[in-house]
């Protein structure tokens, strides 16, 4: 079969003229497609750095927690298992439990007055006397004393978060600090 009959080109046109009529973009697209297939396969992307789920310290790819937080994570799981046992009674979903926690914290904050704190227990005392001693208090102890999550307990032990003043008295007791 003749090319001219396929493409509707007038029989007097030469094949050179026909080629010249192909739009430049079509030709360059063909070149690009051909070039792509000869490129080396892209290397697989490196694994994103894995970090501890609690404190964010980089950990080896097989671990979920750093050495510091592993024991805490195990205790946390035990606490969670115990909680689930208690919660089957009121069969609330995780979302309902979370909003209940938020509501409880929000009402505790709105009920709290600065005058609830003894005069000696101020920000300076918290930062200089209490916070440095918290590293010796286990996360679960802080969690149950304040009703906070392990993430928050870790953050305040490391001084990354300064807890709401309503928590200072409980923390002062945990580290054995009392008024002089």
Contact with Zn ion (CB under 5 A) among 52, 130, 142, 148:
52
Question: CB–CB of 92/100 below 8 Å?
Answer: yes
Q: What distance in Å separates the CA atoms of residue 149 and residue 147, rounded to the nearest whole number?
A: 7
Contact with Zn ion (CB under 5 A) among 55, 148, 150, 172:
55
Instruction: Using the rule CB under 5 A, give the single segment among 47-55, 106-114, 118-126, 161-169 that binds Zn ion.
Output: 47-55
The site that binds Zn ion (CB under 5 A) totals a number of residues, namely 7
Helix (H, G, I), strand (E, B) or coil at 58: strand
Please, which residues have CB within 8 angstroms of residue 155's CB and are 6 or more apart in sequence?
Answer: 161
Q: What distance in Å separates the CA atoms of residue 180 and residue 178, rounded to the nearest whole number?
A: 6
Q: Is 150 in the site for Zn ion (CB under 5 A)?
A: no
Nearer to Zn ion, 72 or 131 (CB): 72
Nearer to Zn ion, 69 or 121 (CB): 69
Contact with Zn ion (CB under 5 A) among 10, 28, 54, 143:
54
Instruction: Using the rule CB under 5 A, give the single segment among 63-71, 86-94, 131-139, 155-163 that binds Zn ion.
Output: 63-71
What residues numbered 69-108 form the site for Zn ion, per CB under 5 A?
A: 69
What burial class does residue 166 get, using C-beta atoms within 10 Å of its C-beta: 0-12 exposed, 13-18 middle, 19+ buried?
A: middle
Residues in the chain: 180
Question: CB–CB of 72/154 below 8 Å?
Answer: yes
Nearer to Zn ion, 65 or 167 (CB): 65
Cα 102 to the center of its chain, rounded Å:
19
Residue 139's CB is within 10 A of a number of other CB atoms, namely 26
Q: How far is the CB of 54 from Zn ion (least distance, A)?
A: 5
Q: Is 146 in the site for Zn ion (CB under 5 A)?
A: no
Positions touching Zn ion (CB under 5 A) are 52, 54-55, 57, 66, 68-69
């Amino acid at each position: 079969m003749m090319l001219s009959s396929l493409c509707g080109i007038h029989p007097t046109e030469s094949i050179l003229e026909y080629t010249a009529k192909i739009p430049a973009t079509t030709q360059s697209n063909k070149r690009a497609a051909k070039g792509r297939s000869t490129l080396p396969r892209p290397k697989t992307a490196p694994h994103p750095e894995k970090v501890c789920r609690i404190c964010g310290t980089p950990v080896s790819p097989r671990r979920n927690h750093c050495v510091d937080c592993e024991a805490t994570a195990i205790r946390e799981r035990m606490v969670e298992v115990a909680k689930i046992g208690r919660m089957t009674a009121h069969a609330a979903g995780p979302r309902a439990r979370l909003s209940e926690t938020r509501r409880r914290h929000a009402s505790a904050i709105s009920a709290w007055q600065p005058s609830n704190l003894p005069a000696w227990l101020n920000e300076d005392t918290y930062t200089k006397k209490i916070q440095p001693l918290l590293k010796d208090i286990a996360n679960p102890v802080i969690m149950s004393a304040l009703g906070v999550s392990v993430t928050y307990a870790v953050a305040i032990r490391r001084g990354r978060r300064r807890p709401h003043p309503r928590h200072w008295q409980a923390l002062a007791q945990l580290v054995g600090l009392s008024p002089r």
